[in-house]
Every structure is written in C-alpha cells, then in structure tokens.
A and B are shown apart, each in its own frame.
Chain A
Amino acid sequence: MGLMPKIPVAEWISSATEWITDTFEFLFDFIKNDFGDFIEMFAEDWLMNIPVWLFIVIVGLIAFFVSGKRFGLMAFSVVGLWFIANQELWEELMNTFTLVIFASLICVIIGVPFGIWMAKSKVVEKILTPILDFMQTMPAFVYLIPAVAFFSIGMVPGVFASVIFATPPTVRFTNLGIRQVSHELIEASDSFGTTGTQKLFKVQLPMAKTTIMAGINQTVMLALSMVVIASMIGAKGLGQTVITGLQRAEVGTGFVAGLGIVILAIIIDRFTQNLNTQRGE
C-alpha cells in the first residue's frame, strides 16, 4: 500500500465546498435569509394561525372528496390529526408539514423538466442515470454537511438536503412515463403534424401522468423520511422531538413523535395516490 500516497480526495471536496460557499455566498445568504423567512412565515404565521379544529375539518373534507366520497380516509385523517393535537405536537406537525411541502415542491419543479429532458435525449439519460443513482445511494446524512456549510442551520438546509435526497424518483418516473407512451400514439401525433411542444403537452405528459404522479408520491415519501435526519441540523418539527427523545432516552416521547410522522405519511400518501386517477380509464 505504500506505493502510492493517499489521494487527498476528502481535502479536495472540502476545499471545493469552501470555494463554493465563498463564491456563492451572496446567493446562499439570499436563500438562507429571504427563503428561510418565507418558510418560517408560512409555518408560523399562516399554518399555525389556523385553528386546530378548522384545520382538521378542512383536511377531513378534502379527504372525503379526494377519496371519491368515501369515509375511510376522512375518518383516519380526522382521528390521526386530533391525536397529534392531543399529544401537544401540533406546532411540530406544522413545521414538519412545511418542510415536506417545500422540499417536495422544489423536487417537482426541478425533477419534472429534467425527466422530460432525459426522455428526449439518450445522451442526457446516460449522463443523468449514474448521477441519480449517486444521489439516492449516498447516505442522506452526508448531505447535511454541505447543507450546513451553505446555509448554516435551520429549515433551509433541511429543505436543501431533502431536495437532493428526494428528487431522483420524480426525474426517473417522468423519464419512464414519457418513454413508455406507445410508439403508435407518438406516430399518430406526428402524423397530424404536431410540433415537439404540442406532442409533449397534448400526448406525452397526459399519457405519462400516472407514472409521473407515482414518482411524485415517492418523492414526497422520501422527503418525509428526511425529516428526522434534517432535524439534526436544526430543522424544526416532529423529527426534533424524536431526537430529543433519543438524547434523553425517553422512549415514550420519541415513540409518540414517530407515530405523528407515520400518521402524516399515511395521510399525504393516500392524498397523492387518490389524486392520481387518470381520465378515460
């Protein structure tokens, strides 16, 4: 092993990160301050100002209609949310919810266009596939380190780390959804003289919708799974309570907060799945 000195990969990456931090400081500061303020405002001034009972009623109603006027999802949502409120974890829930919503939104905004680009070009697909593999297999904790370097601690680095970890499914499923639109339908579209954009919006995206939505559902679930990890760098929410429970060895506290995450996960999952019903089927 003495033949070659250790390659200083770690040092390179560290200095690269430092360089990025310094060079784009203005951008990171802007995101950290303005976007951070906005997220905080969303969670604390808007969501937390809605009376708990009203919030539960609204979610219950949406659940009722989204699930095709059935009572199951509505009952679960109402009871689940009431339980979290009862355990005095409402503020934490709102913070977690905010983090998941913002992270997922950014994932979709970034992920869908990349997925489309990937579907349209074989070269792009070949380049992006290993990058996506990398993003998903790298332990999520690792993302916390540059996140802190760029954005110090709080919600914003939490969102940042979640976005890196949770974007790949949206990209992959968008690509897959577009590629699996049948060849004959593409021919039909072409034979009527569609432009590339017309074909995308009138045929490919509508046909790929189910698959893309499945990808978005995965993205949301991954973002939610980052909640506990992100709270290690100060993202507020249910994850923080879990960490507190861990540090103080309070099994009950940790378990109840964990249960809150599970309830939120089930509600979000069923909501996004139910939204995913295709016309004409």
Chain B
Amino acid sequence: MPIIQVKDLSKIFGKQAKKATQYLDQGLSKDEILEKTGNTVGVNRASFDVEEGEIFVIMGLSGSGKSTLVRLINRLIEPTEGSVYIDGKDLAKMDKKNLRDVRREKLSMVFQRFALFPHRTVLENAEFGLEVQGVDKEERAQKAKDSLELVGLGGYINQFPGQLSGGMQQRVGLARALANDPEVLLMDEAFSALDPLIRKEMQDELLELQESMKKTIIFITHDLDEALRIGDRIALMKDGRIVQIGSPEEILVNPANDYVEKFVEDVDRSKVLTAEHIMKRPETVDVDKHGPRTALERMRKEGLSTIYVTDAKRNLHGYVTADDVSEAAKQEVKDVKEILRTDIPKVDKDTSMHEIFDVIHDSTVPVAVVEDGKLQGIIVRGAVIAALAGSEVNLNGSDA
C-alpha cells in the first residue's frame, strides 16, 4: 500500500470556493475561473500515490501550484476539496490534535529559504521537533547531534544560523527535519536558494543519505535537471494540474503532451539516459558452433566490421574483426577462438551516456553492454548521437 495517497485534492484561493469548484468540474481553465469568480485555482484535483522509500518529485514552473500542493499534504494550507491519506488516514478531515500528531511523528518539512530560527543555535534548531514533542533534554540533544552528524555539521552545534553559509543552513534544515525520524520528508524547493555548485553537492548528498535512510521523500522543484537527477518518479504540474506522472525516462521519452515536450526539450539528455536506453540487440556468433566462415557470412550480410562472440548462454567471450575472419577463412582455420580478441569496451546497463562518451571515443568497435558476464546489447556511435538528438530511444532496450 502506498504511504501517501492524494485523491482529487483541490485548493481554491478566494471567497467563492464552492462556485469555483463547480467550474472546475465543468472543466473551465484557471484563467476562466479567475475571470468569473476572482478566485485563484491553486491546485486542481491532483491525484497520485507515493510509495514507501521513493523520491517523488513534484515539478513545475512558478505559479504551477507545486508549493501549494506540498502544503496541502501537511495541511499548512487547508484543502478546499479532496483527501490526503497517510497510512490510510485522511489528513484533510483530521481534528487539530491528530493533525499535530501526524506532523510531529510522520511528516517533516524542509523549506526553500531554510526557515531556521535565528535565535536558536544549530543544535537547538535541530532539536526543535523533538522539543515540541516533549522528548527530554538529553535524548533530544543526542538525536539532534546524530542527525547533524549525518549531514556533516557535527562541529557547528553551538553556532547560530546567521553565522553559517546557505548550504550549511540548509543542512541544518535537513537535520532538523531528520531528527524527528519522520516517515515522509517534504522538501519544498529545498535546494533552489543555493548556488549551482552547492546545489549539486546537496543533491548528491541527499541521494547518498537516501541510500541508507530509505525515507519517503516528496521533493518540490522548478528545475527539471534536478527533478531528473534525484527523482524516482516525477509529477509535472501546470496551472495547478498534474500533467504527467512517470519515471524520468518516461517523461523524457514519452512526453504526455506538448507542454511536457516543450519542457524537456532543453534537457541535457546525456545525464538521464543510460546504456540500456540506446543499446541495440547484437548480432553474435557462437563460439562453440560457428567457425570463421559463418562469422564472415553474417558480417557481410549485416555490413559489420566486427562481431561479438558469445556462447549459447550469451556469456561474452570476445569479438572478431572482418580482417581477421577473412584471413582465417583463407587459411582454413576451424575455430574462432584462435582469432578472438578480448580487449572489449564494456559498460553496464546503468552507465550514463556521459560515461559512454569516454568509452566509445577510445574504441574502434561497438561498446558492449554487459551484465553478469552476459552480453545484453551493443552501442554504436550512431545510437549515441541519435539519442542526444532526442529520437530513436527505446525504453526496453532488449526489444529493439
């Protein structure tokens, strides 16, 4: 069961919310509703599930309603309609006390402009959530220290937030949220106020932390690169509506509509696509069955200058070149093993295109995609260029 289920969640800002929701049902656009009622549609019937342990990114440009959406999830903003189920309980209908308990125990939030308390030390900031819960002094200090240690700020506990750089302040923000040991972490544009280098560093660290923590994270961002980098799944928002939900690859490769397509146009695909997406099904010869003549025949037919050699179980043995094969055929060599070359350029399925560049640049033969010693596919230069151009990408590499 998903840890968070959002169902038909809407937020109308203004006094005629009822009327506006009726218009929403009739399918009127945000602008039309603004014109008719003077009310702003913050979020328009958003529905999605978030699974335990995943990083779910909500992305959209400013004004798309993403910050409103995340505040509806912990009810910092009261929803107009719809439900937010956390562990099966509807947050939108909870009384104040239960809501407080959920906020204390299950949800923690990290803010765009850090929102640290300037009159409290770093340690006292990290302790805040536990202090509110009434955890006793020693225990909360210990937990807060552990959590600061985790984000690399163990040495700064007695400083005040004003004495730290932006990146460090946001680490405190993260430590404050983690100290509660929440089930779900809500991160509202958490890295957007940081400069690009620090931002990237924080993204890496978050991913690293996530390896060990396995928290459920809902991450809001306006930066598509960031979304693609850290998201397991991405929800794209426009005008308060969720336009598409999918894995980074799905969004890139199969944009649901023109809006998404426009959005992803400028993305650096090399960061997102991996070997799996651009590899082709390889022509091979069987090391046990085939001799140089068969190899030559196949290469002629396919117009190849090299061909990979595997056994019946697709274990990769090496490759042979056209020159070697025709020479061997002339000299009546029976076994391809004698002319086998083993300096194979290899990558994993998950190797990013970035790294493939380096491998393919230094190699005269197609790159082999190998997993557990088995040949999965090959990558030729043409495929790399085509993928960067945004075409001919397949999501299920082996079927191509």
| Residues of chain A whose beta carbon lies under 8 Å from any beta carbon of chain B | 182, 184-185, 187-188, 190-195, 198, 202-203, 206-207, 209, 278-281
Tell yes or no: B118 within 8 A of A by CB: yes
Chain A: minimal CB distance from B212 (Å):
24
Decide: A191 and B107 in contact? CB cutoff 8 A. Answer: yes
Range for the number of chain B residues in contact with chain A: 20 to 34
Decide: B76 and A191 in contact? CB cutoff 8 A. Answer: yes
Q: A198-B132, A280-B120 are in contact. Are A188 and B104 (CB under 8 A)?
A: no
Contact partner of A193 (CB less than 8 A), chosen from B104, B121, B162, is B104
Contact partner of B76 (CB less than 8 A), chosen from A190, A195, A202, A206, is A190
Decide: A193 and B111 in contact? CB cutoff 8 A. Answer: no
Which 6 residue pairs are nearest across A and B when measured between Cβ atoms?
A: A193-B103, A193-B104, A280-B160, A188-B115, A191-B109, A193-B100
Tell yes or no: B74 within 8 A of A by CB: yes
Tell yes or no: B65 within 8 A of A by CB: no
A192 to B104, CA, bound (A): 5
Decide: A191 and B119 in contact? CB cutoff 8 A. Answer: no
A202 to B120, CA, bound (A): 10
User: In the complex, given contacts A185-B115, A202-B117, A279-B119, what are 6 additional A-B residue pairs having Cβ atoms less than 8 angstroms apart?
Assistant: A191-B109, A193-B101, A193-B129, A193-B132, A198-B132, A206-B117
Decide: A207 and B119 in contact? CB cutoff 8 A. Answer: yes
* Interchain pairs with CB closer than 8 A, number: 70
Decide: A206 and B119 in contact? CB cutoff 8 A. Answer: yes
Decide: B100 and A280 in contact? CB cutoff 8 A. Answer: no
Decide: A194 and B132 in contact? CB cutoff 8 A. Answer: yes
A281 to B118, CA, bound (A): 8
Q: B104: which A residues are within 8 A, CB to CB?
A: 192-193
Chain A: minimal CB distance from B150 (Å):
18
Q: A184: which B residues are within 8 A, CB to CB?
A: 111, 113, 115
Chain A: minimal CB distance from B164 (Å):
11
Contact partner of B119 (CB less than 8 A), chosen from A182, A190, A193, A280, is A280
Decide: B111 and A280 in contact? CB cutoff 8 A. Answer: no
Q: B248: which A residues are within 8 A, CB to CB?
A: none
Decide: A188 and B133 in contact? CB cutoff 8 A. Answer: no
Q: A187-B76, A280-B160, A280-B162 are in contact. Are A192 and B108 (CB under 8 A)?
A: yes
Chain B: minimal CB distance from A208 (Å):
10
Question: Quick one: CB contact mask for B162-198 with A, threshold 8 Å, 1 for yes?
Answer: 1000000000000000001000001000000000000
A193 to B128, CA, bound (A): 10
Q: A187: which B residues are within 8 A, CB to CB?
A: 71, 76, 109, 111, 115
Q: A185: which B residues are within 8 A, CB to CB?
A: 115, 117
Tell yes or no: B42 within 8 A of A by CB: no
Tell yes or no: B131 within 8 A of A by CB: yes
A15 to B351, CA, bound (A): 92
Chain A: minimal CB distance from B76 (Å):
5
Chain B: minimal CB distance from A202 (Å):
7
Tell yes or no: B161 within 8 A of A by CB: yes
Contact partner of B129 (CB less than 8 A), chosen from A192, A203, A281, is A192
Decide: A193 and B160 in contact? CB cutoff 8 A. Answer: no
Q: B132: which A residues are within 8 A, CB to CB?
A: 192-194, 198, 202
Question: Quick one: CB contact mask for B208-231 with A, threshold 8 Å, 1 for yes?
Answer: 000000000000000000000000
Decide: B76 and A279 in contact? CB cutoff 8 A. Answer: no
A280 to B111, CA, bound (A): 20
Considering only residues 104-147 of chain B, those with a C-beta below 8 Å from chain A are 104-105, 107-109, 111, 113, 115-121, 128-129, 131-133
Q: B76: which A residues are within 8 A, CB to CB?
A: 187, 190-191
A193 to B100, CA, bound (A): 4
B131 nearest CB neighbor, chain A only: A202
Contact partner of A203 (CB less than 8 A), chosen from B109, B117, B133, is B117
Sample 23 A-B pairs with CB under 8 A, ordered by A number.
Answer: A184-B111, A184-B113, A184-B115, A187-B109, A191-B76, A191-B107, A191-B109, A192-B103, A192-B104, A192-B132, A193-B105, A193-B132, A194-B100, A198-B132, A202-B132, A206-B117, A207-B118, A209-B119, A280-B120, A280-B121, A280-B160, A280-B161, A281-B118
